[in-house]
Chain A
Amino acid sequence: MIPALTPELILYATAIGLTTIGLAGVVLSVHLFRMVLSLVIAEAGVNLMLVLAGYRWDAVAPILTSLGEQPAMVDPVPQAMVLTAIVIGVGVQALAVSILIRIRQRYATLDRWEVAERMDADIAATAGTPRDVSQEAPLGERPLPPIPAKRVDPSGSES
């Protein structure tokens, strides 16, 4: 049975959809800037969800207009929280973008795998260790089963 298509449902679906798109974007993107953008989308989705958590369809905006009898009001707490969350989000995004600029300047790329590779090489170089993972040389000693004692032929021939 398909549930009735109320506006509430549409909004919830939008919120979850936005979050999903954002998260999928983060996982699937290769470009770091796209990853940050996807994060913004996901955050928007979650913020919408938070607003919806306190929203009432039959109520008015939570502003005191008179001191008398009040009509039912929307829960103001989530809206305040969302404002905070948005502010934090914007701050983090700004920081992210500024760091991205620095990385672009240093590494001339924003491909996530290339950046990771370069970072690994940098860390290893600073520390003075060889790169931990080498594709060519197998690491460690391979355990071999005990070698049976060489049986010497009584006749003395080494065949």
Chain B
Amino acid sequence: MNGALALTIALPLLGAFLLPVLMRVSVAFGVWIGPAILAYGCWILGDLWLTGSMQPFSVALGGFAPPLGINLYADTLALLFALAAQLLGLIFWPFKLDQDSARRQALMLLLVAASTGLALSGDLFNLYVFYELTAVATFGLVAASGTSAAYAATIRYLILSGIGSVLTLFGIALIYGQTGTLNLAHLAQLAPEQLSNELGLAAFLSLLIGIGVKAELFPVNTWVPEVYATASSRLSAFLAGLVSKLALLIILRLLLLVFHQPEAAQVILILGILGVVSGELAAWRAKEMRRMLAFSSIGQLGVLFIAMALPDGQGMLAVLALALHHLVIKSGLFMLADGWGGALQRLRGSAAASPLAAGLFVLFSLSLVGMPPLPGFWAKFTLITELAGQTEPLYLMGLTVFLLATVVEAAYLFRVAAIIYQSAPQERRPDEIPKAGGLSLATAGLFGAGLIATTLLIAPVGDRLQTIAAQAQDVDLYINTVFPATPGASQ
């Protein structure tokens, strides 16, 4: 079964290349290919998750053993995010049929394949390739909405992302020049001797800023409000919900396995704090739903960076909890924005028009600001207890900023809620009030139901997250899993 893991990447990739051709042969057959592939992927991963031993394992691709060959590394964390990629791909599948649908569906499959690869790959260059694939698929999908603004946003994103790739490659070159390997496990073995110096730090910072473009790291996140405002809500949900977390996950793995310098954590912390401040404050004045969500997403990712900066992977649990929570919430909110996009002032009276959507909005907002007993509270709780335990004043500053930003966040989210629940202005005809409905509302409802289920099952979910975090934190386990022949490696 373990070998089937590679299929979760290979099948969508294959599908992406064959889909345009097959759609030309038979549309009725072609439209089912994508969902079928993703459903199969979900089944493989779900099966591994449920029946597996919960022990991490490594798959050598093409039969070449690492460090020479490229391997996939699957611990529970990676499996979880791979599963999330396939599942969200299925949920956000571009069902709409028109002349462009073959292209869109192919790009979506490519995006899911690359995202799964990002979650699973155990090789730095391989990660880079998947990272670029994600980028290309994203460009195509953003531009696919076809408006002029979308093209402009895409090219701006593309250039920024291009520089990001240059910096990432530069970092990879530095690492390879120093160590002669790009396998993460091998790097983890070599790092204490070869990379715990200034060169290693420079390499890490290049990688951080390069990959940070996708992870919405301040200040290389200026593409976020433009792209989320022009792309379709489903794509924005996928990007904000999942792709940013995957980029973050890569940085986290690098930090944990390879780069232990305190300076590295410090840079992440400072940039994270700035991200929280800039994102939440910018959202305060946002007059439009999607832009507000985009800025809020920047702020939330900033919080994740703060959590990540905790020394020795102490923040692992907080990162995991916050990331999953944000994944659910932001996806749900963007789904609501599908019907409610546009100026916030237009939303007056929409609660009466679609009460379920209004209720979901309030639920998501409450969880986002961390109202107990919703899951958002527990995620925030794990973070602040870890932060308060640090003696370094910078961490306490992070704590303060985080708490203040939450107040601002609550203020602007509930300002929107108040607008939604206002009665509709007299001069507006009922059909002018934006309605959230149909498929996107159902999807949002799905996320809402997930949130409520998590609230009820918070104790077992929390325990499971703790085991996942503990496993992901264990560097020796990572090395021993990839190189079973060398027990008790050099660490």
Direct contact of A and B (CB under 8 A): yes
A26 to B152, Cβ gap below 8 A? Answer: no
The reply on A14 being an interface residue by CB < 8 A is: no
B148 to A119, Cβ gap below 8 A? Answer: yes
A102 to B147, Cβ gap below 8 A? Answer: no
A122 to B149, Cβ gap below 8 A? Answer: yes
A79 to chain B, nearest CB (A): 12
The reply on B341 being an interface residue by CB < 8 A is: yes
Bound state CA distance, A91 and B155, in angstroms?
14
A99 to B342, Cβ gap below 8 A? Answer: no
Bound state CA distance, A35 and B156, in angstroms?
10
Given contacts A103-B148, A129-B343, contact A92 B226 (CB under 8 A): no
B306 to chain A, nearest CB (A): 27
**Per-position 1/0 for A25-46, Cβ under 8 A of B:** 0100000100110010011011
B169 to A47, Cβ gap below 8 A? Answer: yes
A76 to chain B, nearest CB (A): 11
Smallest CB gap from A95: residue in B: B139
Please pick, from B155, B166, B342, the residue contacting A128 in the complex, using a CB distance under 8 A: B342
Bound state CA distance, A89 and B129, in angstroms?
11
A78 to B342, Cβ gap below 8 A? Answer: no
Contacts of A119 in B (CB 8 A): 148-149, 152-153, 156, 226, 230
Interface residue tally for chain A (C-beta within 8 Å): 51
A35 to B226, Cβ gap below 8 A? Answer: no
B206 to chain A, nearest CB (A): 10
Bound state CA distance, A118 and B287, in angstroms?
18
A118 to B152, Cβ gap below 8 A? Answer: yes
B149 to A39, Cβ gap below 8 A? Answer: no
A127 to B148, Cβ gap below 8 A? Answer: no
B67 to chain A, nearest CB (A): 10
The reply on B268 being an interface residue by CB < 8 A is: no
B166 to A22, Cβ gap below 8 A? Answer: yes
Chain B interface helix/strand/loop/mixed: helix
The reply on B176 being an interface residue by CB < 8 A is: yes
A123 to B149, Cβ gap below 8 A? Answer: yes
Range, interface on chain B: 35 or more
The reply on B489 being an interface residue by CB < 8 A is: no
Given contacts A39-B166, A127-B288, A128-B342, contact A53 B173 (CB under 8 A): yes
The reply on B180 being an interface residue by CB < 8 A is: yes
A19 to B166, Cβ gap below 8 A? Answer: yes
The reply on B378 being an interface residue by CB < 8 A is: no
The reply on B24 being an interface residue by CB < 8 A is: no
A135 to chain B, nearest CB (A): 16
Q: Which one of A62-70, A80-88, A150-158 contacts B?
A: A80-88
B159 to A36, Cβ gap below 8 A? Answer: yes
Bound state CA distance, A132 and B343, in angstroms?
11
Chain B residues with a Cβ under 8 A of chain A: 125, 128-129, 132-133, 135-136, 139-140, 143, 147-149, 151-156, 158-159, 162-163, 165-166, 169-170, 172-174, 176-177, 180, 182, 226, 229-230, 285-291, 341-344, 346
A-B contact pairs, 5 of them (CB 8 A): A50-B176, A52-B173, A53-B173, A96-B158, A132-B287
Top 8 A-B residue pairs of the complex, sorted by shortest distance between their CB atoms: A53-B177, A119-B152, A122-B149, A106-B148, A127-B288, A129-B287, A128-B343, A129-B343
Chain A residues with a Cβ under 8 A of chain B: 19, 22-23, 26, 32, 35-36, 39, 42-43, 45-47, 49-50, 52-54, 75, 77-78, 81, 84-85, 88-89, 91-92, 95-96, 99-100, 102-103, 106-107, 112, 115-116, 118-119, 122-124, 126-130, 132, 139
